[in-house]
Amino acid sequence: MVKIGNFVSDFLNQNEKKISSEFEKKGYIIRDVADFSSLQKIRKVLLNAIKQNVKIESKLSDEDILNNIHRKINQNQINNIRLKIINTINKNTNIRKLYYNVARKYLDILLGNELAMQMRLNLSIQMPNDTSSLLPVHSDVWSGDSPFEIVVWIPLVNCYRTKTMYILPPNKYHKVKKIFSKRKNKSSKKIFELIKRDVNWLNVKYGQVLLFNQTLPHGNITNKEKETRWSLNCRFKSVFTPYRDKKLGEFFEPITLRKISQLAVKYNLPEIE
Residue 101: the pLDDT is: 98
Residue 178: the pLDDT is: 86
Measured N-to-C along each axis, helices 36-53 and 95-110 cross at an angle, to the nearest 10 degrees, of: 140
pLDDT tens figures, 48-90: 999 999 998 878 999 999 999 999 999 999 999 999 999 999 9
Q: Which of 35-49, 55-69, 242-256 has the lowest mean pLDDT?
A: 55-69
The pLDDT confidence band at residue 36, using thresholds 50, 70 and 90, is: very high
Neighbours of 122 (CB within 10 A): 15
The pLDDT confidence band at residue 177, using thresholds 50, 70 and 90, is: confident
Residue 273: the pLDDT is: 79
pLDDT at 185 over 70: no
Degrees (nearest 5) of the Cα angle 236, 137, 162? 95
What 3-state DSSP class applies to 6? helix
The pLDDT confidence band at residue 8, using thresholds 50, 70 and 90, is: low
The pLDDT confidence band at residue 133, using thresholds 50, 70 and 90, is: confident
pTM check: above 0.85: yes
Residue 183: the pLDDT is: 64
What is the mean predicted confidence (pLDDT) over 239-255?
96
DSSP 54-68: S---TTS-HHHHHHT
Residue 3: the pLDDT is: 55
